Amino acid sequence: MILIIQNGYSCDYEMNLFASLFFGDDEDVIITQNFSYENKNINVYTHIVFEGKSYFEDYNFEFDIDNKTEKLIKKIFIASCTKSLSHAALKIRKINFSWGVMCGIRPAKNARELADEGYSESEIRGIFKNVYEVSDEKTDLALTVANNEKELLNKIGKNSVSLYIGIPFCPTRCVYCSFVSTDIRTSGKYMSAFFEKLLLEIEKTAELINETGVYIENIYIGGGTPTTLSSEQFEVLMKKLYDVFDLSKLIEFTVEAGRPDTINEEKLRVLKKYGVNRISINPQSMNDKTLKKIGRSHSVGMIYDAYKTAKIIGFDIINMDLIAGLPDETVEEFNNSLNEVIKLNPENITVHSLCIKRAASFRHTKNELAKADDMNEMLSYTQKRMKDEGYIPYYMYRQKNSSGNLENVGYAKHGTMSTYNVNIMEEKQTIIALGGGGSSKVIIGDRIERVFNFKDPLEYVRRFDEILTKKDEIKELMKGCDIDE
């Protein structure tokens, strides 16, 4: 059990996050921390008791809170606490974190917000290095992503929104999956009922759009694997969208085709017919042995076939996902997967860090530490190869429990960056979610209000009246937004 006692300043979530990187839940650890701020100096004294021994860190940082925003002050205070904890814990276990003590899923957003505060690039680099202890390589990545994001954020239309439509079904469930999806072999019996309710939710959302005076700039159909729907269902879904919505100002229309074993020429032609201009074909690995191990039911050969078919039909922007750190994959095997995808020359490549679910008996063994080091090597190779091949990093996020506390990065060729991907990360545009597991985000000034749809398809169907009520809730929230007449 990890017991954390903080005096003077409290940041429970961040402290528990970093403590869990060093210690398992079945280990007895007592962490006591005293925080003080006097005479423009932060002092954080940490005492860790572990296996009968004591470990200390007396951390000091000079920081003037005058003329600083409350948000920045909070970030600096939290970083001081997590740094003091980590420095003490490093005396027990040596763990290398490229992102230092930076918390949160959006490192590039930290860089952008510092720039908005008036800090120069050199000053931001200094804060990343001296406050957060971020490596130079990751600092470069965060600043590059922040600059590329800004290009798209500046193009968000006044009174525009995005739609997210969640199809929570997959042909199989991957062993690492943490997304909202159900195995169609067991949940497929609910698909027809789910689909009929989704069409009704689309109609309700059209009323919301019309009554609030906004327009749709992007549509993203995700999941799960949306292409578990039949071509006939796609025809009905697409026709419904065009029947009830004014899509004359639509810029991006994305379908997460994802699994090659769910893609065929007929489905792709339906998507192309209705103006879908971005799709994903996601290998995760270009190693058949790995695909079998993680529960994917497609082969590497099917990836090549699906990509070739999509290009013949005329899709100009295709994204392909890879995952670094899959079970038993070596650095060389991951690098080979990346190189094989690069040969296909897709417009977008997204590289994820495997998100590890810790078991109760978790230990930081040498093998696990080597895994984190391997992932660092994989992502460093990715960053270099992407630059050499003319791909730019334009959106990035991190997930809790990823090995090495590393990142997921979307790379794109010039002119093919996705506005929706940046919006979902930077939360600058209202996103209305439909279907299973979606989370609507209503932007009201500097405030974000979230409204969640049900995750499970059966619950979505059974409690559909509540789904409609949630749309009324979103409508009332949006009436408080700044809409131009």
Q: How far is CA 193 from CA 186, 190, 435, 461, 464, in A?
A: 14, 6, 12, 7, 11
At 48, list the tokens. 């860790």
Give Cα 339 distance to the centre of its chain: 23
Distance CA 240, CA 250 (A): 15
Distance CA 253, CA 241 (A): 11
Distance CA 196, CA 179 (A): 23
H/E element holding 303? helix 300-313
Distance CA 136, CA 170 (A): 39
Q: What angle is formed at CA 335 by the lines to CA 332 and CA 338, rounded to 5 degrees?
A: 155
Residue 314 pLDDT? 96
Q: Is the Cβ–Cβ distance between 218 and 206 less than 8 Å? A: no
357 vs 18 pLDDT, higher one? 18
In this prediction the pTM is 0.89
Q: What pLDDT, in 10s, does the model give residues 116-127?
A: 888 999 999 999
Q: What pLDDT, in 10s, does the model give residues 133-161?
A: 999 999 999 999 999 998 899 999 999 99
User: Is the predicted pLDDT of residue 360 greater than 50, yes or no?
Assistant: no
Query: Which letter does DSSP use for residue 27 in this model?
Result: S
Alpha helices for 154-253 (secondary structure H): 184-187, 191-212, 231-244
User: Is the predicted pLDDT of residue 470 greater than 90, yes or no?
Assistant: yes
Least confident interval from 3-7, 174-178, 201-205: 174-178
User: Is the predicted pLDDT of residue 244 greater than 90, yes or no?
Assistant: yes
Residue 322 pLDDT? 95
User: What is the phi/psi pair of residue 398, to 5°?
Assistant: -125, 150
User: Is the predicted pLDDT of residue 485 greater than 50, yes or no?
Assistant: no
pLDDT, mean of residues 9-13: 94
Residue 176 pLDDT? 56
Distance CA 140, CA 251 (A): 30
User: Is the predicted pLDDT of residue 362 greater than 50, yes or no?
Assistant: no
Residue 177 pLDDT? 59
pLDDT, mean of residues 261-289: 95
Query: What confidence tier does 295 reach under pLDDT thresholds 50, 70, 90?
Result: confident
Q: What pLDDT, in 10s, does the model give residues 433-455?
A: 999 988 999 999 888 999 999 88
241 vs 94 pLDDT, higher one? 241
Handedness of CA 165, 145, 409, 177 (dihedral sign): negative
Percent of the chain with pLDDT over 70: 92
User: Is the predicted pLDDT of residue 229 greater than 80, yes or no?
Assistant: yes
Domains of the chain from N-terminus onward:
1-91 (3.30.160.100), 153-478 (3.80.30.20)
Residue 359 pLDDT? 33
Residue 174 pLDDT? 60
Q: Is the Cβ–Cβ distance between 260 and 305 less than 8 Å? A: yes
Cis peptide before 224, with omega less than 30 degrees from 0?
Answer: yes
Residue 413 pLDDT? 97
CA atoms within 13 A on the CB side of 420: 25
User: What is the phi/psi pair of residue 81, to 5°?
Assistant: -70, -45
Query: What confidence tier does 343 reach under pLDDT thresholds 50, 70, 90?
Result: very high
User: Is the predicted pLDDT of residue 182 greater than 70, yes or no?
Assistant: no
Residue 188 pLDDT? 64
Round the average pLDDT of the chain to a whole number and report it: 89
